[in-house]
Structure 1
């Protein structure tokens, strides 16, 4: 029997390291494109202040990029250390996007980042601009392949279980790449990263304007952030809606939990703005609903139903019993690989094999499970509805707030007047909100998939390694200490160079020639 404590600690370690890592990723995604936009203006106009902006924000990008690399490498190794059976079972599928990400995107991005920092005096203007845009492209390629891998965990298409090797294998790599869940997650996550980058520039620029420092740079940076951020914030909401629509056909339980919908409603379903989901009572109290809204958002129709939680739980029991047929046929094939009846039975029910594996939490051989044990396995398919319900709503609320904030900033910049101090304070205090929204989004995406590590294929508790509790406790404590130290170092470095700011000893009207930036040169020293 699998130790439940070991499973929970393994999940906790991966969740914490992943959430630490994702503190750095969205800023890398967003800031890289904003830097490219700023350098493009510099190349087109020749005004040195835009070069100073590129170098200054590029310096902060470089600090963040280095920390992102340091925290991301650990996650790769965890698959082999803490999740050995997961790696064995689905490594042939999951490993391919990760390998491509490392070879195509990570090395490309790392090489180009070096050219960005040390190529200012060695490359021409257009050549350096091309490098900057390729850095931004490399950042997004990294996100693409990681999210293709994650999207396959949510919707395992283009693969099949091989009865000879007892592992999942790729049958159609194009389906893995163009998985609708992966593509929806990619565009939504990248857009959220753009919002994070824009908020970072907007907030720091507001800080400078409040202190009346580096005013010329801050005004231009704030204008770029307002325009870029408004477009990104609008995209996040639209693409988030598309990401939710992808759940309708692929992750019905997650969709029902996000909505707190315990029973299937008559189409089109209403949207619950407020409510308190109660798992014990299996209902949502104090609901405030908008008629038809959820049905239109999730199904794009007036007639298609959204299954309720309890109906999906009942369906899970049917899948478990069908999965037992596949499991029994698989055991027969282990002894007689040429048995035609067993192979036919397995092929007809193989999509439910993972449901039979859920019984291994309670019994070594799922075929020996009692009705009570099957009922317990069915209840495992119901995670914490309250957490998903409210995480989703806070994330959506932040999304609309970003639209309002960037829209106001864009309007005020269009007036070409001095920014009100109250608005600058609001912009500065809003700095941490995109990170909070991003972490909530990952909580919805990953926690909503439970009890599966691969949706419908491999239960989470089966994926862990056979290691001792002391080992994982030591590694968990070590990672948390290390990651906390790295986070503190990043914050201190960011604060240091933000306080130093760019060098602006040359008057703005004289910005017609190239000159080095001491703030940038500090990183070389």
Structure 2
């Protein structure tokens, strides 16, 4: 396989995935914020809350459309750019995607039109129910997608069948209740709620700074402050749970995030700052806080966090074992009834994927020398500097979000959130930060899994389709141009909607003190 084709295939999928995920978190969070806002309207009957719900619903609609359009492209890429991946694990990976389409996507499609156009055709309570169903469908979509992605990180409930030469489901319940998928879902959804809260907080702050739509902005900011504080606290707590899940299922990813080159005495300290050096396999200028990593990763004072060097030695052992499994599979192809080879395969089956790593260097893994096996074992180490710094930037933004929403909640409780201008400016400039953290989080999840498409099962370089570099460059340029155009359109629509404001005729029934209410135009 041409390494350039592999890199370009990864680049194309990364670009489309990261672009798609610009829209997903805002959709996840705004959907439930609309439920909260409309619930207040139903309970109080105050028209201002109907205006608030419809305004943010308009921005939700713009974002929703772009999210659906960009998400469809990604699913097609599994067949076009990752055909061997689809063949090898399609029985497992395809099921959550199919359920997502049947359950969640159809649920959204059914109710989203009623939500946008049913305001004057349904009772208040019925419309609230519709809005809730849209929010439920949106979050169920995330659930099934993350079940699929979680299986890529921790391929439980499936096994390789030497008769079909494919991975097949052995326990669908284990696929559904995969601990990695559960941790990723709650963490990702909470991050989406933070994203939407900052968006609402920042746009409301813009209105208050300009003295426009004060009644809408103050109430929107109050909802955003409460919802955002709860969500930002959840992100940190659930992020900690995700880290704990890595201890059992993805030890190399955890070690790379912490630049832990060697196993430290328990409980391990956490490195706040340092310069990971891949050449010397050390972390220079490390600033470490004792015990913290051990407590987070193992929930104990005596649990070890295994270092990368020790994990590489384990990978070396698994590659050697996997070569035995590979040899047994090759012999079972010739004689499927060979009982001795079947028994040999069963003994080493869990390491078959590690033998496939050797195919990056030699056509037949059975021909690999001990020196090649030892060198290949280091391929399981991801990009340590990128992992190390991405996590720290993401974590810093997470704690910053807690501080931001704590101040917002305090000011809203004191009824001073509309007059504290320094905070309003801070809220406005903070709008992009959750997106930065979320994109870094996905980079951590996917780059940290390398060199695997399916952790421990299928190397990335074997998962691609037989494409040319020219074809991939053509589609990358095409997608970039198309998505760039869509991004411009979406931003213009968002800005136009925000400028228009929440009222149909730009008339604010609650203008800022000292301003003159807009007068209707008469002939």
1:306-385 matched pairs, under 5 angstroms = 306-385=305-384
Q: CA offsets, 1:7-40, max 9 Å, x none?
A: 0000000000000000000000000000110000
Shift of 1:508: 5.2
Q: CA offsets, 1:190-238, max 9 Å, x none?
A: 0000000000000000000000000000000000000000000000000
Contact 2:118 2:127 in 1 (8 A): yes
Work out the CA distance in 2 between the residues paired with 1:261 and 1:377: 20
Aligned to 2:141: 142
Work out the CA distance in 2 between the residues paired with 1:243 and 1:484: 33
Q: CA offsets, 1:28-71, max 9 Å, x none?
A: 00000001100000000010010000000000000000000010
Quickly say closer, same or farther: Cα 1:411–1:359, change in 2 above 3 A. same
Aligned to 2:96: 97
Aligned to 1:512: none
**Partner SS state of residue 507, structure 1:** coil
Contact 2:92 2:158 in 1 (8 A): yes
2:450 aligned with 1:450: yes
Shift of 1:384: 1.2
1:242-281 matched pairs, under 5 angstroms = 242-281=241-280
Deviates more, 1:377-386 or 1:326-335: 377-386
**Partner SS state of residue 445, structure 2:** helix
**Partner SS state of residue 381, structure 2:** coil
2:107 aligned with 1:108: yes
Contact 1:268 1:296 in 2 (8 A): yes
Aligned to 1:440: 440
1:172-211 matched pairs, under 5 angstroms = 172-211=171-210
**Partner SS state of residue 466, structure 2:** coil
1:77-96 matched pairs, under 5 angstroms = 77-96=76-95
Shift of 1:351: 0.5
Work out the CA distance in 2 between the residues paired with 1:205 and 1:220: 9
Work out the CA distance in 2 between the residues paired with 1:397 and 1:143: 25
**Partner SS state of residue 380, structure 2:** coil
1:403-414 matched pairs, under 5 angstroms = 403-414=402-413
Aligned to 2:515: none
Work out the CA distance in 1 between the residues paired with 2:16 and 2:510: 44
Contact 2:253 2:382 in 1 (8 A): no
Contact 2:214 2:510 in 1 (8 A): no
2:235 aligned with 1:236: yes
Contact 2:212 2:508 in 1 (8 A): no
Q: CA offsets, 1:390-437, max 9 Å, x none?
A: 100110000000000000000001111343111100000000000000
Contact 2:213 2:508 in 1 (8 A): no
**Partner SS state of residue 475, structure 2:** helix
Work out the CA distance in 1 between the residues paired with 2:419 and 2:80: 53
**Partner SS state of residue 303, structure 2:** coil
Work out the CA distance in 2 between the residues paired with 1:431 and 1:419: 19
2:493 aligned with 1:493: yes
Aligned to 1:505: 507
Q: List structure 1 segments (4+ residues) > 6 angstroms apart after TM superposition.
A: none
Contact 1:412 1:419 in 2 (8 A): no
* Structure 1: stretches of 5+ with no match in the other structure: 510-525
Q: CA offsets, 1:210-267, max 9 Å, x none?
A: 0000000000000000000000000000000001100000000000001111000111
Aligned to 1:5: 4
1:43-82 matched pairs, under 5 angstroms = 43-82=42-81
Contact 1:258 1:385 in 2 (8 A): yes
Work out the CA distance in 2 between the residues paired with 1:483 and 1:477: 10
Shift of 1:383: 1.9
Q: CA offsets, 1:293-317, max 9 Å, x none?
A: 0000000011111110111111111
Aligned to 2:162: 163
1:5-24 matched pairs, under 5 angstroms = 5-24=4-23
Note the aligned Cα RMSD (angstroms): 1.0
Deviates more, 1:356-365 or 1:189-198: 356-365
Shift of 1:371: 2.8
Shift of 1:271: 0.6
Contact 1:153 1:453 in 2 (8 A): yes
Work out the CA distance in 1 between the residues paired with 2:399 and 2:509: 39
Aligned to 1:469: 469
Work out the CA distance in 2 between the residues paired with 1:368 and 1:182: 37
Work out the CA distance in 2 between the residues paired with 1:370 and 1:5: 26
2:299 aligned with 1:300: yes
Query: Could you tell me the TM-score, scaled by structure 2's length?
Result: 0.96
Aligned to 2:521: none
Work out the CA distance in 1 between the residues paired with 2:63 and 2:342: 53
Aligned to 1:517: none
Q: CA offsets, 1:85-108, max 9 Å, x none?
A: 000000000000000001100111
Contact 1:6 1:469 in 2 (8 A): yes
**Partner SS state of residue 288, structure 2:** strand
**Partner SS state of residue 195, structure 1:** helix
Deviates more, 1:231-240 or 1:473-482: 473-482
Contact 2:277 2:284 in 1 (8 A): yes
Shift of 1:506: 6.7
Work out the CA distance in 2 between the residues paired with 1:51 and 1:282: 59
